[in-house]
Amino acid sequence: MSRYLISGGRVVDPASGRDGHADVLIAEGVVAGVAERIDAPDAERIDASGAVVAPAFVDMHAHLREPGREDEETIASASAAAACGGYSAICAMPNTDPVADSASVVEKVWRAGRAVGLVEVVAAGALSRNLEGHKLADLGEMAMSPARVRLFTDDGNGVQNSLLARRAMEYLAGFDAIYAEHCEDAALAAGGQMHEGERASVLGLRGIPAEAEEIMAARDIALAKLTGCRLHLLHVSTAGTVELVRRAKAEGAAVTAEATPHHFTLTDAALDGYDPNAKVNPPLRTGADRAAIVAGLADGTIDAIATDHAPHAPEEKDQELTYAPPGIAGLETALGLTITELVAPGHLTLMQAVARLASTPASILGLDGHGGPLAPGAPANVVVFDPHGSVTVDPARWASTARNTPFAGRVLTGRVLHTFFGGSETARDGAPLGAAVDA
Amino acid sequence: MIKHLLSMDQLSAGDITHILDTAEQLQGVTDRPIKKLPTLRGRTVCNLFYEASTRTRISFELAAKRLSADVINFSADSKSSVAKGESFKDTAWTLEAMGVDAIVVRHGSSGAPQQLSQWATASVINAGDGAHEHPTQALLDLFSMRQRFKDLSDLKVAIVGDIVHSRVARSNIKALVTMGAAVTVCGPPTLIPPGVRSWGVEVSYDLDAILVDLDVCYVLRVQAERQSEQLLPSLREYAALWGLNSKRLAHLPEHALVMHPGPMNRGVEIAADVSESPRSIILDQVANGLAVRMSLLYLMLGRTDDAEVAAGVTGA
Amino acid sequence: MAPGAAGAPGTPVAAGAPGGDFTVKAQVMDPDEVRRALVRIAHEIVEANRGTGDLVVLGIRTRGAPLAERIAAAIASFEGDDLPSGAIDVALYRDDVALRGPRRLESTTVPVDLDGRVVVLVDDVLYTGRTIRAALDAVLDLGRPRAIRLAVLVDRGHRELPIRPDHVGKNLPTAAGEAVRVHVREIDGDDVVLIGEKK
């Protein structure tokens, strides 16, 4: 196994609190040393001057489409995209075909991820059988399987039945697992194409009110308090939800939350040209909602930046807006958007950004060895990125199979230079490297 | 002139007046023994209709034929391209390959004409998209109003009914506000879109209160589905509170007109005797559609793209 | 710019007619010459037609229309009976719509049934003949006249179609690069014919 000396970079490691220039030596799959100056003539030297060296990122929320829609994305292509985006772990959402609602499916996803070996693929399990919201899925078996499922969600659908939500939380609390909700009241959101408001009125598109999300977020927080279960709110999109989470945390509830790069970057004005690539669920909201999400990320109300990577085939997005499926492929633009929209304008420090991208999601998911600390002996899951380097978003050059992004052509600040997973370099300057680690 | 007509937002008061003036001249042709003009010989207009609308399609078809353009009708029975197994973009490229000069598109999905205009080099004319806009309807409505009232800028117009789902309402509001008319939208609160006041209109939930001061009462179609969507208690209640019946007609000023974009639900939003009263110009609206669409085709297709370079070779 | 100020050579004129800016080189007809030419044409028309029977005078929009009215009025003054006159807009019949884009439409007013009539088309300048070709088509769509004649105030040559005027106010040899402008008082405030260059 190769040895790498990452020299001259600024180490930003929230788990240890380290922020300063240091050399990092990677050997035998682990961090072999972090010190002001390391001499390792036999190691491949990576000049990181001007760059940041940080724990590789952890995405709590990605749709890999395998099994079922391998034309849109595969575990292999999503892993490569994740590596290019600076990730060492991604959490695979269960809305596949078949649905990941049993131990056999989650185990298959997990093993496939290990076989690819570019990132750790963490399988999430469904809360309800076939995501239908009627009967509990095999929660315990999935939690106890080799895939060790930690996060359960019906993502794509909110759990409409409050009793099912309560029972799932009660049950999961016993496994110290996470109930993760796609907050959406289906009746209020029915037929909606975008955020309900002035823009939707003008465009003649049916709206999804902010309250469709907030009502379910409030219910789930109440149930989390009742049951003691850990609750994670997926892709928070409204100012009201941010405030609900803030209050719940102040009251000591075991609630965490994530936000996506598109929700902290765009507003519903992105739909003005009826671009199906800007159609996403939950929808892009108002400027005030966007500002509240940025503030929530800054003060820690929102714990994690998650991509909600949702790849779609071009022929699905080249449809009338109403018929195009929602979703944005985000693994390869997350760092650029985080730096450009949050760090460069001064909303977040680099340390906070790395915390939201890497260390906090790793600790929520209980992923040992990911998210730092970058300490001797820890698995070498490391990203090197240039926080000042610019990159033009060009989906044609992505490792992901998908091309669906509203950011094509945008120039972003923040460029991933090297990604290491378990001591192997998995991507260099936007291109994946084939080498797989031991499964 | 604009390349595509997608929304009334694109047209200034001057543009609208120019289109209506041109339509006025073209209407003269309708009375002549030979109704055909050679103006658009060699051009091809495609009517791409994803929603059945015989009236609008025939009006566009006749308008194009009167100007000697070739017309192809591409009616999709299914509501979207995806049901046919191809993307909407594929459809656009197919029409592109056939070399059509204009695509008149009617679609149930808001924004479909705008999407099409990004993929096709032909001129795209919105013939009604979802709950977004129906610009040619608004133009023929203005034309019909202008036949009775000299100055649109003095008019007081109420648009009554299902504003939130109405492309006719959106286009008419924009057009009337652009021309300086005072517009009030009126209907059940569930059918008034959020933020509608920012469009420069007044909002009223009480039709009887606003009737007495109107020049035009523009009545929209109300669909029965609105009951199952919990937007209306019943059509009966709708008719009682917002239907234009003969009692309400009597409260309209003497000179005021009744308009409706069709097709009508008689007995719901409009009583049969009101739609047939001398105050109603509903049939004028239909007739005027032809001249207005001829005007648009002439003004939009008059010049070919490559002609701009070639122009100026001959002196006057 | 005031149309009345357009006489001085070398003055650029924001022309009322389509075609853009125009620099005057010389005035080739003054108001009296225009008046005499129209009266002469009126006499010629009656003489060629052996009276006013079946005559209709139709001016081609824009500047042919007032000229047609004046010719009709002149005939009425010396023949004693009113002559039907009207105007046609030929924009929808032009062969250069694709090239130059749509023109603003003006009204077509034809006071009588044209079937069996002798139609005298009137225009200000005869040049390539393409406007007259369009006018012939327009007239034939309106009815079936017994004959169509052509009267023009100025014939500047350079025909592109086999069209010949029956009555001409003034033959004006020009170069292809030159332009001829006719001002009529009903539209431009004065009656002059100018020759110049297009910018």
Residues A222 and A253 in one domain: yes
Active-site residue (options: A299, A308, A386, A394): A308
Domain count, chain C: 1
- Window from A93-107, A140-154, C19-33, C83-97 with minimum mean pLDDT: C19-33
CA R_g for chain C: 16
Residue A439 counted as domain residue: no
Tell me which residue has tokens 């701009």.
B308
Q: Which domain holds residue C184?
A: 3-198
Give the whole-angstrom CA distance, residue A242 versus residue A404: 27
pLDDT of residue B304: 63
Q: What are C119's two structure tokens?
A: 């139609």
Alpha helices in B126-224 (DSSP H): 135-148, 167-178, 207-211
Give the whole-angstrom CA distance, residue B95 versus residue A235: 40
The burial of B157, by beta-carbon neighbours within 10 Å (0-12 exposed, 13-18 middle, 19 or more buried), is given as: buried
Subunits in contact with chain C (3 or more CB pairs closer than 8 Å): B
The residue among B301, B287, B278 whose CA lies nearest residue B31 is B287
pLDDT of residue B223: 87
Q: What's the rounded mean pLDDT across residues A321-333? A: 96
pLDDT tops 60 at residue C14: no
Residue A319 one-letter amino acid: Q
Q: What strand order describes the sheet that includes B70-75?
A: B70-75, B44-49, B102-107, B123-129
Which tens digits make up the pLDDT trace of B99-127? 999 999 999 999 999 999 999 899 999 99
Residues A297 and A250 in one domain: yes
Q: What are A122's two structure tokens?
A: 């963490």
pLDDT of residue C17: 46
Cα separation values, A354 from A80, A339, A345, A348, B307, Å: 21, 10, 16, 10, 57
The reply to whether C96 touches chain B by the CB within 8 Å rule is yes
| Confidence label for C199 from pLDDT (cuts 50, 70 and 90) | confident
Query: Are C25 and C178 contacting, i.e. CB atoms less than 8 angstroms apart?
Result: yes
Give the whole-angstrom CA distance, residue A413 versus residue B120: 34
Q: What's the rounded mean pLDDT across residues A403-427? A: 97
Cβ contact B112–A321 (<8 Å) = yes
Smallest CA–CA distance from B167 into chain A, residue: A204
A84 vs B223 pLDDT, higher one: A84
A34: left (phi over 0), alpha (psi -120 to 50) or beta: beta
Indicate which CATH number applies to the domain containing C141: 3.40.50.2020
Subunits in contact with chain B (3 or more CB pairs closer than 8 Å): A, C
Smallest CA–CA distance from A316 into chain B, residue: B87
State the pairing for strand pair A431-432/B44-49: unpaired
pLDDT tops 70 at residue C13: no
**Residue A281 DSSP symbol:** S
In degrees, to the nearest 5, what angle opens at C-alpha B29 toward C-alphas B27 and B34? 155
Give the whole-angstrom CA distance, residue C46 versus residue C79: 9
pLDDT of residue C5: 39
Residue A154 counted as domain residue: yes
| Confidence label for A438 from pLDDT (cuts 50, 70 and 90) | very low
Whole-number percent of chain A with pLDDT over 90 = 98
Q: What's the rounded mean pLDDT across residues A92-118? A: 97
pLDDT tops 70 at residue C20: no
Residue A267 counted as domain residue: yes
Count Cβ neighbours within 10 Å for each residue of B13-29 and write b for 16 or more, e otherwise.
Answer: eebbebbbbbbbbbbeb
The residue among A382, A361, A344 whose CA lies nearest residue A56 is A382
Whole-number percent of chain B with pLDDT over 70 = 93
Give the whole-angstrom CA distance, residue C123 versus residue C60: 5
Residue A205 one-letter amino acid: L
- Which A positions 131-160 lie with beta carbon below 8 A of chain B? none
Residue A437 counted as domain residue: no
Give the whole-angstrom CA distance, residue C173 versus residue C157: 6
Query: Are B272 and B287 contacting, i.e. CB atoms less than 8 angstroms apart?
Result: no
Long-range CB pairs of C163-169, under 8 A, 24+ apart, other chains included: C163/C126, C163/C129, C163/C132, C163/C133, C165/C126, C166/C44, C166/C48, C166/C120, C167/C41, C167/C44, C167/C45, C167/C48, C167/C120, C168/C41, C168/C126, C169/C29, C169/C34, C169/C37, C169/C38, C169/C40, C169/C41
pLDDT tops 70 at residue B314: no
Cβ contact B316–C179 (<8 Å) = yes
Q: Which residues pair with C152 in a beta bridge?
A: C123, C168
The residue among B182, B198, B108 whose CA lies nearest residue A199 is B198
Phi and psi at residue A230, in whole multiples of 5°?
-75, 130
Smallest CA–CA distance from A276 into chain B, residue: B115
Residue A217 one-letter amino acid: A
- pTM, two decimals, is 0.90
Cα separation values, A277 from A325, A339, A395, B116, B132, Å: 9, 22, 12, 15, 19
Residue A285 counted as domain residue: yes
Q: What's the rounded mean pLDDT across residues B278-285? A: 94
pLDDT of residue B31: 80
Smallest CA–CA distance from B315 into chain C, residue: C179
Give the whole-angstrom CA distance, residue A339 versus residue A347: 10
Query: Are A302 and A223 contacting, i.e. CB atoms less than 8 angstroms apart?
Result: no
User: Is the bond preceding A98 in cis, omega lying within 30 degrees of 0?
Assistant: yes
The rounded Cα A281 to chain-centroid distance in angstroms is 15
- Which B positions 59-98 lie with beta carbon below 8 A of chain A? 80-82, 86-90
Smallest CA–CA distance from B32 into chain C, residue: C142
pLDDT tops 70 at residue B82: no
Residues A21 and A63 in one domain: no
Domain boundary assignment for chain B: 8-133+286-310, 136-280
Cβ contact B108–A322 (<8 Å) = yes
Q: Identify whether A308 is a catalytic site residue.
A: yes
pLDDT tops 70 at residue C78: yes
Residues A31 and A169 in one domain: no
State the pairing for strand pair A255-259/A382-392: unpaired
Residue A19 counted as domain residue: yes
Residue B34 one-letter amino acid: I
Which tens digits make up the pLDDT trace of A32-74? 999 999 999 999 999 999 999 999 999 999 999 999 999 999 9
- Which B positions 37-56 lie with beta carbon below 8 A of chain C? 37-40, 42
**Residue among B303, B306, B308 with most chain C CBs within 10 A, to mutate:** B303
Average pLDDT over chain A reads 96
pLDDT of residue A226: 97
Residues A247 and A282 in one domain: yes
Residue A80 one-letter amino acid: A
Phi and psi at residue A177, in whole multiples of 5°?
-95, 170
**Residue among C25, C63, C105, C107 with most chain B CBs within 10 A, to mutate:** C105
Cβ contact C93–B302 (<8 Å) = no
The residue among B76, B125, B130, B91 whose CA lies nearest residue B107 is B130
Query: Are C146 and C117 contacting, i.e. CB atoms less than 8 angstroms apart?
Result: yes
Give the whole-angstrom CA distance, residue B55 versus residue A23: 75
Subunits in contact with chain A (3 or more CB pairs closer than 8 Å): B
The reply to whether A198 touches chain B by the CB within 8 Å rule is yes
Sign, CA dihedral A376-A379-A385-A387, equals negative
Give the whole-angstrom CA distance, residue C153 versus residue C29: 10
Q: Which residue of C92, C99, C104 is in closest CB contact with B39?
A: C92
Residues A242 and A349 in one domain: yes
Residues A386 and A291 in one domain: no
Residue A92 counted as domain residue: yes
Q: Which domain holds residue A410?
A: 4-53+376-432
The reply to whether B309 touches chain C by the CB within 8 Å rule is no
Q: Which residue of B34, B311, B315 is in closest CB contact with C141?
A: B34
Give the whole-angstrom CA distance, residue B266 versus residue B280: 13
Cβ contact B1–C101 (<8 Å) = yes
Residue A370 counted as domain residue: no
Average pLDDT over chain C reads 89
**Residue A342 DSSP symbol:** I
Half-sphere exposure of B210 (CA within 13 A, CB side): 25
The reply to whether B306 touches chain C by the CB within 8 Å rule is no
Cβ contact B316–C100 (<8 Å) = no
CATH code: domain B8-133+286-310 is: 3.40.50.1370
Give the whole-angstrom CA distance, residue A103 versus residue A140: 9
Q: Which residues pair with A47 in a beta bridge?
A: A7
Give the whole-angstrom CA distance, residue A108 versus residue A85: 24
- The CATH class of the B136-280 domain is alpha beta
Q: What are A121's two structure tokens?
A: 């693929």
